[in-house]
Every structure is written in structure tokens, then in C-alpha cells.
Amino acid sequence: MIGYVLFGTKDLKKAATLYDDLAAAIGGERKMELENNITWGGPQGVWIGVTDKTANGEPPSVGNGVMAGINVGDTATVDKLHKIAMDHGCQDEGGPGERRPGFYAAYFRDLDGNKLCAVHISH
């Protein structure tokens, strides 16, 4: 249902290194690169991107209550994405683990404070 998620960033190049590594870990790659915007896509078909120039011209900021979930194929990949985020200096918002039966997740904030969740859902 979701086509893409776009986050604001204050440092496009630094954000790009994090998202390059996250995408690579799940078989994703850069799909679109513009002057102020880079977007990655993976095998699931949903894209995630960062931009340092917002449509309304206001400075990029973190949305309160906004979170993007990255759905992956297994719990080991959840662990791997969380480690990549921590290695890049992201903020831990809840390490890998089963939150409820069939829902294994790890939460972190990217370098600008945007909240992401790496999740494996098995039902």
C-alpha cells in the first residue's frame, strides 16, 4: 500500500552513507538520486528516501509520531540492520527482540532523529 517514505536530513551525504549500508544489507540499492534527494528501493518494492530541501522551503525536521518500518525476511537481518545503525552512530530506541508473538523488531533513530523500525513479521 505504501509507495515510499521520505525523511528530511540536514546532511545529505552523511545520511546517504547510512541508508546505502541499510539498503545493501537487505538487497536494496539507490533508485533515484537528485541534487537534494536520494531514494533507495529493495526487493519489497517500497522506497525510502532522504532530502535536504523540503517542498515548503522550511528546514527539515523530525515528525512527531512518524516512524518507517523496514520489513525484512528474518530475525538475523533485523539484528544486522540494528547493528549497522548503531555502527553509524544512530540512537538506539529498542534493541532487537520479540515484541509479541510473530513480531521481532529493533528500533532506532537515524542521524537526524527520524525513527525507523527493522521488523520481521511471521504469522
Q: Are 96 and 75 in contact (CB under 8 A)?
A: yes
Q: Indicate the pairing of strand 103-109 with strand 115-121.
A: antiparallel
pLDDT classification of 12: cutoffs 50, 70, 90: very high
Residue 2 in this model has a pLDDT that exceeds 80: no
The Cα diameter of the chain in Å comes to 43
Rounded to 5 degrees, φ, ψ at 58 are -75, 155
Query: pLDDT, tens digit, for every residue of 62-104?
Result: 988 899 999 999 999 999 999 999 999 999 999 999 999 999 9
Q: How far apart are CA 103 and CA 90, in angstroms?
A: 22
Query: pLDDT, tens digit, for every residue of 39-68?
Result: 999 887 889 999 999 989 999 989 888 999
Choosing among 3.90.550.10, 3.10.180.10, 3.30.300.30, 3.30.930.10, the CATH entry for 4-53+67-121 is: 3.10.180.10
**Domain-by-domain residue ranges, the chain?**
4-53+67-121
pLDDT of residue 5: 93
